[in-house]
Amino acid sequence: MSSRPSVAKTAVKHVTIAILMFGFGFAMIPLYDVFCEVTGLNGKVQAAVVKTAMEIDRSRSIKVQLVASNNAEMPWRFSPLQNEIALHPGDWKQVGFWVSNVTDQDMVSQSVPSITPARAARYVKKSECFCFEQQTLASGESKVMNLVFTISPDLPEDIRTVTMVYTLFDATDFATSQVVATSD
Amino acid sequence: MMTSATTLHEDHGHHGPAKGLMRWVLTTNHKDIGTLYLWFAFTMLLIGGSMALIIRLELFQPGMQLIEPEFFNQMTTMHGLVMVFGAIMPAFVGMANWLVPMMVGAPDMALPRMNNLSFWILPFAFGMLILTLFSEAGAPNFGWTFYAPLSTTYAPSSVTYFIFGVHLMGISSIMGAINIIATILNLRAPGMTLMKMPLFVWTWLITAYLLIAVMPVLAGVVTMMLMDIHFGTSFFNAAGGGDPVLFQHVFWFFGHPEVYIMILPAFGIVSQIIPTFARKPLFGYSSMVYATASIAFLSFIVWAHHMFTVGLPLATELFFMYATMLIAIPTGVKVFNWVSTMFNGSMTFETPMLFAVAFVILFTIGGFSGLMLAIAPADFQYHDTYFVVAHFHYVLVPGALFAIIAGVYYWIPKWCGRYYNETLGKWHFWLSFVGVNVTFFPMHFVGLAGMPRRIPDYALQFADFNAVASIGAFIFGLSQILFLYIVIDAIRNGKKATDEVWEGTEGLEWTLPSPAPYHSFSEPPEVK
């Protein structure tokens, strides 16, 4: 009992813990991203990669399903040109998504990708994707947005189908000129 | 409880309590502040309880009868917030204020002025929250868990008051927790080593650490909401690069330890009461301490069991499932110890003991349904159904609330110097016991059959069980008015209590006269 710290010291120490924990709440955001990237959980995809020739695994063919969906009240029309393609691991493919701003206003969009099964996410390599940056369309404008990707030959044998979903968000209020979502 | 504090202890030369209203506003006395907390919590219990009764009235029959669906959503939200942050947590802080200094032989709380502030923030926080009911936008309607984007993009404008209210109650809880930690660590009487502390003090010490670890995270998550709503950030908005699932991770990192904040002090109270009425020392004191600490540690690594259906990968589901099931081990140790304490004891069943025994039985039922919910594949079926409602009400009502009521009956003779009416106390117990089971037990069945929670209407096949639950809710709710009467009657007309209060009580608080003097242990007692 003799060498007990003073009340003031105890209080200051615990106030510090409380402040650090407030910071920890915010630190969870990058930690959560890093965790998902390292483990490949949550279907997170690596950032854009340089398109390099890979050894093509012609012994198997992966069914790649392409899905487009709109978030909440996003009024644009959005659909893949092909719903499904077959791909040999290591072979680079280009696919297109058709998008049309049917409103009477100029709008900015952001696509957010998700890959199922999540385990496959880390094997999907994209050299070009409309999801890497915001897309602006004038009122009534339409276009085809490109995605250039492959699936690494390291993909586990038991995965035969990979579903790539893109959800289109209205990002008009969040318009930036820079590249966003590099790690998504 | 007024009389307890107005009964001056004349032996001391210095002042007793001041007179009038300003006594309560300016007080720094731990007993006064404890009293304020307890009355505040009881007021909130009645307000939150009225909201529950509005919910049960609407659910008495299928179809929409009394209230609009929008108002129903406001009721479920406000009921949860008021009960969790306004009733259960302040009641435990009030108990800690009254008892921790008396149990460790301290003259008062370590930081008496901060103690005053942490109480007086609360009426403002809840005043602001409850007044939103009368605003044009209505009260918050997104559930007490306030998931984004429901609580950001789609929230009523009153959400800003809600955020500010949560900030205030968070600050209050953190200050209260620091005060309790400082009292326990710095002001224990000579000879009161940590492993001699009563279990109520131990459980509160651990709870206080949980509070300072997670209340700031709650403050963080509402701050992120505030910034998303008003300052154009995108923490939870995917369009701007955020992620709504992030909200759930941050929220439940707070939320799971929070549910243990609401139950650990209850474990402490019950661990004080059962040995007294079993007339045996608590079985396995040190295992109780370690079990409490283990539960607190585990509470930090199980949060995603609230999120099994958000699309977690298999490995994550398995981790959180097994980690959650692990909690059953220290909790089982506790239940085993309580039962072993009673085993071969000379038991008598005064009201506090009745509530404590009911706690052990009914909390265990709630624990088992929790174990069922922990099974990830089964949870896909149970998620967001009345089974979940039944589960958490079993651990919070006959769990936390029964322990608080038991504690009030147990210590009120020490606080006020008078016994409550034992016959009425037993009536209160049996009405509450029957009421609580009639209310919540049928919810297991409708939940397993698929009735979703937080919906004002339901399919016809759930009608009978819902009618039964509503009747139970009114029995339970109205019997709390009897509790109010019993407490006031004890304060006014109760039989004078002895210093020992109950036969063979152990602990420093029972060495004080009844009622406990306004200033106690100005000279630290000797603990052998």
B232 contacts on A by Cβ (under 8 Å)? 173-174
AA identity, residue B372 = M
Provide mean pLDDT across the span A48-57.
Answer: 80
Confidence at residue A184, expressed as pLDDT on a 0 to 100 scale: 37
- pLDDT one-digit tens code per residue, B294-303: 999 999 999 9
Determine which of B174, B233, B316 to mutate to test the interface with A (most A C-beta atoms within 10 Å).
Answer: B174
Q: Which of B108, B228, B229, B237 is the mutation pick for testing A, counting most A CBs within 10 A?
A: B237
Stretch B136-151: mean pLDDT: 94
- What is the nearest CA distance from B520 to chain A, expressed in angstroms? 19
- What is the pLDDT at residue A55? 84
Condensed to tens digits (0 to 9), the pLDDT of residues B232-264 reads: 898 998 878 788 999 999 999 999 999 999 999
Rounded Cα distance between B228 and A29, Å, is: 14
The residues of B carrying an active-site annotation are 79, 108, 144, 172-173, 256, 258, 260, 271, 305-306, 331, 334, 453
Q: What is the pLDDT of residue A40?
A: 63
User: What is the least distance, in Å, from the CA of A115 to any CA of chain B?
Assistant: 12
Residues of A in contact with B524 (CB under 8 A): none
> Residue B158 has what pLDDT?
95
Categorize the per-residue pLDDT at B5 as very low, low, confident or very high, splitting at 50, 70 and 90. Answer: very low
Interface A–B counts its CB contacts (< 8 A) at 109
Say what the pTM is.
0.90
Question: Residue A15 and residue B178: Cβ atoms within 8 Å?
Answer: yes
Q: What is the mean pLDDT of residues B328-347?
A: 96
User: What does residue B199 show for φ and ψ, rounded to 5 degrees?
Assistant: -65, -30
pLDDT band, very low/low/confident/very high, at A41 (cuts 50, 70, 90): low
- Scored b (16 or more CB within 10 A) or e, A115-134 reads bbebbbbbbbbbbebbbbbb
With beta carbons less than 8 A apart as the criterion, state whether B254 and B261 touch.
no
Average the pLDDT over A161-174 and give the result.
Answer: 89
B293 interfaces chain A, CB cutoff of 8 Å: no
- What DSSP assignment string belongs to B87-152? IIHHHHHHHHHHHHHHHHT-SS-SSHHHHHHHHHHHHHHHHHHHHGGGSTT-S--STTTT-TTTTT
Q: How far is B267 from chain A (nearest CA, A)?
A: 24
Tell me what pLDDT residue B8 has: 43
Task: Tell me whether residues B240 and A110 touch, CB distance under 8 A.
Answer: yes
Complete edge-to-edge strand list for the sheet that includes strand A135-137: A84-87, A62-70, A161-170, A107-116, A135-137
Which of B237, B239, B253 lies nearest to residue A28, judging by beta carbons?
A: B253
Distance (Å) from the alpha carbon of A174 to chain B's nearest alpha carbon: 6
Per-residue pLDDT reduced to its tens digit, A79-95 = 999 999 999 999 999 99
Of B352 and B14, the one with more pLDDT: B352
Distance, in angstroms, between B299 CA and closest chain A CA?
16
- Does the structure show a pLDDT above 80 at B523? yes
Q: Is the pLDDT of residue B14 over 70?
A: no
Q: With bands split at pLDDT 50, 70 and 90, how would you rate the model's confidence at B455? A: very high
At residue A26, the 3 state secondary structure works out as helix
Share above pLDDT 70 across residues of chain A, in percent, rounded to a whole number: 88
C-alpha–C-alpha distance, residues B23 and B29, integer Å: 10
Say what the pLDDT of residue A4 is.
57
pLDDT, residue B380, reads: 95
Which residue among A4, A25, A173 places its CB closest to the CB of B217?
A25
pLDDT confidence of residue A35: 80
Task: Establish if B307 touches chain A: CB-CB under 8 angstroms.
Answer: no
Delimit the domains of chain A by residue range: 1-39, 45-174
Please judge whether B110 and A26 are an interchain contact, meaning their C-beta atoms are less than 8 angstroms apart: no
Say whether B188 and A28 touch across the interface (CB within 8 A). no
Nearest CA in chain A to B209: A14
pLDDT band at B527; cut points 50, 70, 90: confident
Residue count (chain B): 528
Q: Is 60 exceeded by the pLDDT of residue A181?
A: no
Residue of A25, A110, A174 lying closest to B250 (CB–CB): A25
Question: Band of the pLDDT at A44, cuts 50, 70, 90?
Answer: low
Q: What is the average pLDDT across B438-444?
A: 97
pLDDT at A38: 74
pLDDT(B421) > 80: yes
Task: Give all domains of chain B, ordered by start, each with its CATH number.
Answer: 2-511 (1.20.210.10)
Look at the alpha carbons of B231, B235, B239, B244 in this order and tell me if their dihedral is positive or negative: negative
Q: For position A115, what pLDDT does the model report?
A: 87
- A24 interfacial to chain B (CB closer than 8 Å): yes
For residues B222 and B88, what is the distance between their CA atoms, to the nearest angstrom?
Answer: 21
Q: What is the mean pLDDT of chain B?
A: 94
CB-CB under 8 Å, B177 with A21 = no
Is the minimum CB–CB distance between B221 and chain A shorter than 8 Å? yes
| B52: nearest Cα among B463, B440, B388, B452 | B440
Q: What is the mean pLDDT of chain A?
A: 85
Residue A177 has pLDDT above 60, yes or no: no
pLDDT digit string, tens, across residues B50-77:
999 999 999 999 999 999 999 999 999 9
A77-80 and A161-170 strand pairing: unpaired
Q: pLDDT > 90: what percent of chain B?
A: 90
A119 within 8 A of A42, measured Cβ to Cβ:
no
Q: Predicted confidence band at A116 (pLDDT cuts at 50, 70, 90)?
A: confident
Quick one: pLDDT at residue B493? Answer: 94
Q: Residues of B with CB below 8 A from A170's CB? A: 239
What stretches of chain A show up as alpha helix (H) in DSSP? 7-39
Put simply, whether B253 touches A (Cβ < 8 Å) is yes
Kindly tell me if the per-residue pLDDT of A120 is higher than 90.
Answer: no
Distances (CA, A) of B105 to B91, B267, B524: 22, 21, 6
Summarised one tens digit per residue, pLDDT across range B22-51 is 999 999 999 999 999 999 999 999 999 999
Percent residues over pLDDT 70 in chain B: 97
pLDDT at A37 over 90: no
Instruction: Report the pLDDT averaged over residues B202-221.
Output: 97
**Residue B10: pLDDT band with limits 50, 70, 90:** very low
CB-count burial class (<10 Å; 0-12, 13-18, 19+) for B319: middle
Q: What is the CATH number of domain A45-174?
A: 2.60.370.10
- Got the DSSP string for B375-432? SHHHHHHHTTBHHHHHHHHHHIIIIIIHHHHHHHHHHHHHHHSB---HHHHHHHHHHH
Residue B14's Cβ-count burial label (10 Å; 0-12, 13-18, 19+) is: exposed
- Taking phi first (over 0 means left), then psi (-120 to 50 degrees means alpha), and beta for anything else, what does residue B146 get? left
Kind of pairing, strands A93-100 and A77-80?
A: antiparallel
Q: Return the structure tokens found at A89.
A: 């691991």
Long-range contacts of A34-40 (CB under 8 A, 24+ apart): A37/A183, A39/B315, A40/A118, A40/A119, A40/A121, A40/A122
Residue in B closest to A35 by C-alpha: B316
**Average pLDDT rounded to a whole number, residues B12-16:** 55
Q: Mean pLDDT across the stretch B260-271?
A: 97
Whether the pLDDT of residue B7 is over 70: the answer is no
Cross-chain residue pair B240–A167, CB shorter than 8 Å: no
Residue A176: closest CA among chain B residues belongs to which residue? B240
End-to-end CA distance of chain B: 32
**B163, pLDDT greater than 60:** yes
pLDDT at A174: 79
Res A178 pLDDT > 90: no
Residue B43 — left, alpha, or beta (φ > 0 → left; ψ -120 to 50 → alpha)?
A: alpha
Task: Find the length of chain A.
Answer: 184
Interface contact flag, A174 B240, Cβ < 8 Å: yes
Rounded to a whole number, what is the distance in Å from the CA of A53 to chain B's nearest CA? 31
Q: Average pLDDT of A101-107? A: 90
Which stretch of A24-28, A121-125, A174-178, B350-354 has the lowest confidence by average pLDDT?
A174-178
